[in-house]
């Protein structure tokens, strides 16, 4: 093990305005357990320095599993006719919001497939109701929409938006997303930022045909775009997809990507993703020790949870809506961290709280 090379590379990457691709590739390629431990520890220190010891919670409500797309990796793909689909009504979503707020959690994430029947005015009214009844920041995650829709929701107080780039490699992106365009994806991310949303993006690690160089470029893409939040999840093959026969992502590669994203982007919200918790065992603690500082407990009501099957083995499928919140406290305690019950707005740009968007 060449500790001095490793340490000097980590320092150079952390200090650079734009790290060298070759440095990131070298770090992503490490396999020795002691070397990996040093990378994770370095990321943990950067997390402590820029974000403190807190773990922020975002309560997720998966409110529609309908999707128009056919992403090669995703179990919700439109071609999967075996999956029963559901759509929650406003009352069910408001009940979930009440549970989230009742658990002292300050963010609700409204997530769905790209549901062709999502009425933007219905979602606008729902945001208004949530905002008037509860002390909750609202994060939307409903995919690619028109600027007008993004504007409509932002204007009634939606705070944040999650739209993963999945891969920053245009060719790989377009091979995984039939009928979608990388240019369009970038258009959406740009508009969301322009409208004053706090923007979350992220990638999938371990995709078929994905090289270390492409992952290194993902990390540079995250830095260039100055995202407020970045979700990094391991690929998990789903039986009803074109990638059914591929192998799942390597845990260490996922953790390295997370750790390097922390080291490069510094004060970003990085979740220990549900996919990381579903990789055979629950590796979210490992994620939290390698740079992550967010957990996303599931508040989708039963009996719908099992139908939001993005990938198989998704954790907490049988739990009830309120179960995951308390579990977060236990997890934080196990690794000597604490849950931070503040709203957790962006740490970027002097913590502008995302309220300054004026480009409506």
Residue of closest CB approach to ligand FES: 327
Does 73 bind ligand 5AD (CB under 6 A)? Our answer is yes
From the list ligand FES, ligand 5AD, none, pick the one residue 348 interacts with, judged by a Cβ distance below 5 to 8 Å according to partner type. Answer: none
Nearest to 231, CA basis, from 318, 299, 316, 141: 141
Q: Which two tokens stand for residue 82?
A: 């075996």
Does 172 bind ligand 5AD (CB under 6 A)? Our answer is no
From the list ligand FES, ligand 5AD, none, pick the one residue 23 interacts with, judged by a Cβ distance below 5 to 8 Å according to partner type. Answer: none
Q: Which two tokens stand for residue 309?
A: 């099957």
The position carrying tokens 């179960």 is 323
How far, in Å, CA of 140 to CA of 192, rounded? Answer: 11
> In sequence order, what are the residues at sequence separation of 6 or more whose Cβ sits closer than 8 angstroms to the Cβ of residue 153?
120, 123, 124, 127, 140
Q: Give me the 300-319 binding string for ligand 5AD, x by CB under 6 A, dash otherwise.
A: ----------xx--------
How far, in Å, CA of 84 to CA of 264, rounded? Answer: 41
Which secondary structure element, helix H or strand E, spans residue 234, and what is its range? strand 229-234
Does 238 bind ligand 5AD (CB under 6 A)? Our answer is yes
> In sequence order, what are the residues at sequence separation of 6 or more whose Cβ sits closer than 8 angstroms to the Cβ of residue 206?
234, 235, 247, 248, 249, 250, 253, 254
User: Shortest gap between Cβ of 61 and ligand FES (angstroms)?
Assistant: 14
Q: Give me the 6-45 binding string for ligand 5AD, x by CB under 6 A, dash otherwise.
A: ----------------------------------------
Q: Which CB sits closer to ligand FES, 316 or 339?
A: 316
Does 253 bind ligand 5AD (CB under 6 A)? Our answer is no
From the list ligand FES, ligand 5AD, none, pick the one residue 235 interacts with, judged by a Cβ distance below 5 to 8 Å according to partner type. Answer: ligand 5AD
Nearest to 225, CA basis, from 201, 197, 205: 201
How far, in Å, CA of 101 to CA of 103, rounded? Answer: 5
From the list ligand 5AD, ligand FES, none, pick the one residue 319 interacts with, judged by a Cβ distance below 5 to 8 Å according to partner type. Answer: ligand FES
Q: DSSP string covering 12-37, please?
A: HHHH-SS--HHHHHHHHT---HHHHH
Q: For 286, what's the count of Cα atoms within 13 Å in the CB-facing half-sphere?
A: 21
Q: Which CB sits closer to ligand FES, 15 or 330?
A: 330
Q: Which CB sits closer to ligand 5AD, 205 or 259?
A: 205
Stretch that binds ligand 5AD, among 48-56, 102-110, 234-242, 324-332 (CB under 6 A): 234-242
- From the list 10, 275, 294, 332, which residue makes contact with ligand 5AD (rule: CB under 6 A)? 275
- HEC sequence for 254-290: HHHHHHHHHHHHCCCECECCCCHHHECECCHHHHHCC
User: Shortest gap between Cβ of 270 and ligand FES (angstroms)?
Assistant: 17
From the list ligand FES, ligand 5AD, none, pick the one residue 310 interacts with, judged by a Cβ distance below 5 to 8 Å according to partner type. Answer: ligand 5AD
Count of residues binding ligand 5AD (CB under 6 A)? 12
Cis bond upstream, residue 12 (ω within 30): no
Residue 2 dihedral angles phi and psi, to the nearest 5°: -100, 80
From the list ligand 5AD, ligand FES, none, pick the one residue 316 interacts with, judged by a Cβ distance below 5 to 8 Å according to partner type. Answer: ligand FES
Stretch that binds ligand 5AD, among 43-51, 124-132, 233-241, 330-338 (CB under 6 A): 233-241
Residues that bind ligand FES (CB under 6 A): 297, 316, 319, 323-324, 327
User: Shortest gap between Cβ of 252 and ligand FES (angstroms)?
Assistant: 23
Task: Classify 41 as helix, strand or coil.
Answer: helix
Binding-site ranges for ligand 5AD (CB under 6 A)? 73-74, 164, 166, 204, 233, 235-236, 238, 275, 310-311
């Amino acid at each position: 093990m060449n500790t001095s090379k490793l340490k000097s590379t980590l320092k150079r990457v952390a200090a650079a305005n734009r790290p060298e691709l070759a440095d990131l590739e070298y770090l992503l390629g490490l396999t020795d357990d002691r070397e990996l431990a040093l990378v994770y520890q370095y990321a943990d220190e950067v997390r402590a320095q820029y974000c403190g010891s807190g773990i922020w919670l975002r309560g997720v409500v998966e409110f529609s599993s309908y999707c128009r797309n056919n992403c090669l990796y995703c179990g919700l793909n439109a071609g999967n006719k075996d999956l029963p689909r559901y759509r929650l009504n406003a009352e069910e979503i408001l009940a979930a919001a009440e549970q989230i707020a009742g658990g002292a959690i300050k963010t609700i994430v409204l997530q769905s497939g790209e549901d062709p029947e999502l009425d933007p005015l219905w979602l606008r009214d729902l945001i208004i109701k949530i905002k008037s009844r509860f002390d909750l920041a609202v994060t939307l995650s409903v995919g690619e929409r028109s600027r007008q829709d993004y504007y409509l929701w932002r204007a009634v107080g939606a705070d944040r938006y999650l739209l993963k780039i999945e891969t920053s490699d245009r060719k790989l992106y377009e091979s995984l997303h039939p009928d979608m365009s990388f240019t369009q994806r970038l258009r959406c991310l740009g508009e969301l930022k322009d409208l004053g949303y706090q923007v979350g993006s992220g990638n999938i690690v371990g995709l078929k045909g994905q090289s270390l160089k492409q992952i290194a470029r993902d990390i540079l893409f995250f830095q260039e775009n100055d995202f407020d939040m970045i979700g990094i999840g391991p690929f998990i093959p789903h039986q009803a997809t074109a990638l059914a026969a591929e192998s799942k992502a390597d845990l260490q590669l996922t953790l390295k990507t997370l750790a390097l994203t922390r080291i490069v982007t510094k004060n970003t919200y990085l979740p220990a993703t549900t996919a990381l918790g579903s990789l055979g065992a629950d590796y979210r603690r490992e994620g939290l020790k390698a740079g992550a500082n967010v957990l996303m407990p599931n508040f989708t009501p039963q009996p719908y949870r099992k139908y939001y099957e993005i990938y198989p083995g998704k954790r907490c499928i049988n739990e009830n809506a309120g179960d995951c919140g308390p579990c977060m406290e236990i997890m934080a305690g196990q690794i000597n961290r604490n849950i931070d019950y503040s709203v957790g707005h962006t740490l970027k740009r002097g913590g502008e709280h995302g309220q300054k968007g004026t480009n409506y």
